[in-house]
């Protein structure tokens, strides 16, 4: 007996909201980044679920592209974080409130 797709969608909605709330609540830049990854994974799960429910391979192709973009995003994001930490030692996003160098 297979699990209906609605259960997967509900789970993905919960994971997405946990990630979004964490992004708003946490102050550590690295943890905020991990929350973005959580949200991306929730959306991936939704795409795969719809690919199964609608019997359409397009959803899985989109997940493939999301994985590539997520990898590129993490590389650039962590590069920016390392560049910021080289100038100042602070782990919170609130310390980086000024654009002035």
The C-alpha R_g of the chain, in whole angstroms, comes to 17
User: Nearer Cβ to other proteins, position 83 or 98?
Assistant: 83
| Residue given tokens 């654009």 in the structure block | 99
Q: Which residue in 88, 94, 98, 99 binds other proteins (CB under 8 A)?
A: 94
Tell me how far, at minimum, the Cβ of 99 lies from other proteins, in Å.
15
Residues 2-41 that bind other proteins (CB under 8 A): 2-3, 5-11, 13-22, 24-28, 30-31, 33-35, 37-38, 41
Nearest CA among 86, 80, 84 for reference residue 95: 84
43 binds other proteins (CB under 8 A): no
Residue 55 Ramachandran class (φ > 0 left, ψ -120 to 50 alpha, else beta): left
96 binds other proteins (CB under 8 A): no
91 binds other proteins (CB under 8 A): yes
Instruction: Say how far apart CA 57 and CA 70 lie, in whole Å.
Output: 20
């Amino acid at each position: 007996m297979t699990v209906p797709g609605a259960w997967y969608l509900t789970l993905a909605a919960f994971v997405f909201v946990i990630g979004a709330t964490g992004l708003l609540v946490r102050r550590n830049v690295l943890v905020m980044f991990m929350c973005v990854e959580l949200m991306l994974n929730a959306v991936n799960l939704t795409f795969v679920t719809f690919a199964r429910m609608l019997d359409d391979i397009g959803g899985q192709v989109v997940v493939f592209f999301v994985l590539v973009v997520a990898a590129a995003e993490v590389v650039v994001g962590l590069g920016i974080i390392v560049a910021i930490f080289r100038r100042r030692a602070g782990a919170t996003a609130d310390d980086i409130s000024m654009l002035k160098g």
